């Protein structure tokens, strides 16, 4: 079994074997939560000069909630609406792999650099999407990556709807004013 550090590095390198290992290790849920928190702290620290110290706390809370809800949504879509012929997954497995898929977010601390902030944000977003697709493919035991992409797109659409609701009630703009 790989160390926590090796798992984070494997997730950063988009190694399918790392996601497979994490999926099958029920004791790795705490590690996955640590990755989510580390990525959210990095993002919050990157925004601290623009949004203050409260940005870090808000980022942690929102990230943990999004991780749990997103994992549940992807589990439901992937196991109930679009299962593969070999799909057998529980929410814990999705929590673990999707937690580690947030590892690229640790680089978000670099958004503190004003000249390349948007480039870093774009790179982290693309890297995280790639990690998420690989994590979903492994957790749902899909034979092809395109099915994982479709599941992620459906989940992203659901996320977008929820974010628009947050913005409509006034929570979103304050949190995401750095975009």
Taking the complete model, does pTM exceed 0.85, yes or no? Answer: yes
Residue 73: what pLDDT?
95
pLDDT of residue 178: 42
Per-residue model confidence (pLDDT) at position 170: 65
Tokens encoding 173: 């703009």
Looking at residue 179, what is its pLDDT?
41
How far apart CA 11 and CA 35 sit, in angstroms, is 10
**Is the distance from CB of 22 to CB of 32 less than 8 angstroms?**
yes
Rounded Cα–Cα distance for residues 156 and 174 (Å): 21
The first and second tokens of residue 123, run together, are: 């790179």
Distances in whole angstroms, Cα of residue 68 to Cα of each of 2, 110, 170: 24, 26, 22
Q: Could you tell me the mean pLDDT of each successive run of 10 residues in the chain, 179 residues long?
A: 96 98 97 97 80 81 91 96 95 98 95 89 96 98 96 91 76 47
């Amino acid at each position: 079994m790989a160390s926590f550090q090796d798992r984070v590095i494997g997730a950063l390198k988009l190694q399918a074997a790392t996601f497979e290992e994490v999926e099958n290790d029920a004791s790795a849920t705490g590690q996955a939560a640590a990755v989510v928190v580390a990525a959210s702290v990095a993002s919050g620290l990157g925004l601290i000069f623009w949004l203050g110290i409260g940005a870090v706390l808000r980022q942690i809370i929102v990230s943990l909630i999004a991780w749990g809800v997103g994992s549940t949504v992807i589990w439901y879509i992937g196991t109930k609406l679009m299962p593969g012929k070999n799909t057998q997954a529980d929410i814990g497995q999705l929590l673990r792999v999707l937690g580690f898929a947030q590892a690229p977010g640790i680089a978000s601390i670099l958004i503190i650099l004003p000249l390349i902030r948007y480039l870093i944000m774009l790179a982290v977003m693309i890297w995280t999407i790639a990690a998420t697709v690989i994590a979903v493919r492994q957790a749902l035991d899909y034979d092809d990556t395109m099915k994982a992409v479709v599941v992620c797109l459906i989940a992203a659409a659901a996320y977008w709807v929820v974010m628009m609701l947050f913005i409509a009630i006034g929570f979103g703009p304050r949190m995401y004013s750095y975009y």
